[in-house]
Amino acid sequence: MTDPCTRAAELRALRADLVSGQVPSRIRFDREEVAFFRADPAALDREIARLEAACARSQGRRSRYAVTPRLRRY
């Protein structure tokens, strides 16, 4: 498996290209050509978040913090 930090950066770049409309796919049938890009932006965002969390864990950082109870002394 590749480094999650590198893969997250690649997917963020792909997401930027997808949003800007720069990622077409072309299929040609005889004389007809069709351009499309099939992607699920929500799934792409989830994968980026998962890879960013894996990247943070591999570098010793926490991505989520637990809520700790605090006592107030009056």
Whole-number pLDDT of residue 17: 81
Whole-number pLDDT of residue 63: 60
Structural domains of the chain, with CATH:
4-58 (3.30.1580)
Q: Do 36 and 24 contact (CB within 8 A), yes or no?
A: yes
Q: What is the pLDDT along the chain (74 residues), one digit of tens a residue?
A: 578 889 889 888 888 888 777 766 777 777 787 777 677 788 889 999 999 988 888 888 766 666 777 777 77
Residue the block writes with tokens 């290209």: 17
Q: Do 38 and 5 contact (CB within 8 A), yes or no?
A: no
Whole-number pLDDT of residue 4: 87
- pTM of the complete model: 0.62
Q: Which residues pair with 34 in a beta bridge?
A: 27
Strands, E, within 18-63: which ranges?
25-29, 32-36
In one-letter notation, the amino acid at residue 13 is: A
